[in-house]
């Protein structure tokens, strides 16, 4: 059953206002996205097409790029301690890169699938497609605990790409147009963002699902995009309703 079929308990909901539209590589199967120092860092997926790249926000120009070996399906990324940590989908192997050069420094292993990553400066948060988020030590990458993501008493499954935003974890829910705002303390959903209709119909040909959240903490700017989307959107949240 797809996550879209789950009826959630009613945390506050938000719509969106588009502030700015930026170009995005239509060939990028976006799996991980972060904003650092004026640039987007993006991890893309699919076997034989996976890459790690540094991108100019304003133009979509790829200024640095490395390709993963053809057997790997690249997944989420996060930038921490001047390094970039990247997951792969089913190989149970991740990579650590130097942020400046994108040179791979080492590999590491984890059990199960890899989906999304983000960090709060000291801890890394990792999703695996379930209703759990793993919490890793940001230096050793060892697992410390797990969060069970839930809205009320209902588990929220298929948690995908992650972003740390003002003390919360924002998470795409796979195959939906909804973003969960999750408490890193207990995994409870404290809000929902509905971005339905953000990609115009004329741009949906060949496009895949919403997947990609980035936050500019200095400029307080929130960005979203999707897999094989030709556009990236800066948005502001607009309240839709109160909690039931």
Query: Does residue 15 have a pLDDT over 90?
Result: yes
First to last CA, the chain: 25
- Residue 205 region, left (φ>0) first, then alpha (ψ -120 to 50), else beta? beta
Residue showing tokens 């490395």: 66
Give 183-241 pLDDT, tens digit per residue.
Answer: 999 999 999 999 999 999 999 999 999 999 999 999 999 999 999 999 999 999 999 85
C-alpha span between 148 and 132 (Å, rounded)? 5
pTM of the model: 0.92
Give 80-135 pLDDT, tens digit per residue.
Answer: 999 999 999 999 999 999 999 999 999 999 999 999 999 999 999 999 999 999 99
Contact 31, 210 (CB under 8 A): no
CA-based nearest residue to 16, from 152, 198, 187: 198
Kindly report each contact of residues 25-29 with a partner whose C-beta sits within 8 Å and lies 24 or more positions away, as own/partner. 25/55, 25/60, 25/62, 25/230, 26/206, 26/207, 26/228, 26/229, 26/230, 27/228, 28/53, 28/227, 28/228, 29/208, 29/227, 29/228
With H, G, I as helix, E, B as strand and everything else as coil, classify residue 99: coil
Q: What is the mean pLDDT of the chain?
A: 93
Query: Does residue 3 have a pLDDT over 60?
Result: no
DSSP string, 114-174: --EEEESSSEEEEE-SSSEEEEEETTT--EEEEEE-EETTEE---EEEEEEETTEEEEEET
Q: Please report the domains of the chain, with CATH numbers, ordered by start residue.
A: 9-241 (2.130.10.10)
């Amino acid at each position: 059953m797809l996550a879209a079929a789950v009826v959630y308990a009613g945390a506050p909901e938000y719509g969106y206002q588009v502030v700015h539209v930026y170009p995005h590589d239509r060939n990028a199967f976006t799996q991980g996205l972060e904003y650092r120092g004026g640039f987007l860092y993006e991890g893309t997926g699919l076997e034989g097409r996976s890459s790690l790249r540094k991108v100019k926000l304003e133009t979509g120009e790829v200024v640095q790029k490395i390709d993963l070996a053809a057997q790997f399906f690249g997944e989420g990324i996060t930038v921490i301690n001047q390094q970039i940590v990247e997951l792969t989908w089913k190989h149970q192997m991740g990579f650590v890169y130097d942020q400046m050069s994108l040179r791979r420094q080492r590999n590491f292993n984890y059990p199960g699938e890899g989906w999304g990553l983000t960090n709060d400066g000291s801890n890394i948060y990792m999703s695996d497609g379930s209703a759990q988020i793993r919490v890793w030590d940001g230096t050793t990458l060892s697992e410390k605990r797990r969060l069970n993501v839930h809205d009320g008493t209902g588990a929220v499954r298929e948690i995908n790409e992650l972003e740390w935003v003002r003390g919360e974890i924002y998470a795409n829910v796979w195959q939906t147009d909804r973003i969960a705002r999750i408490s890193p303390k207990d995994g409870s959903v404290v809000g929902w963002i509905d971005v339905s209709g953000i990609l115009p119909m004329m741009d949906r040909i060949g496009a895949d699902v919403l997947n990609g959240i980035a936050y500019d903490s200095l400029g307080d700017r929130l960005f979203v995009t999707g897999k094989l989307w030709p556009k990236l959107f800066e948005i502001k949240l607009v309240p839709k309703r109160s909690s039931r």
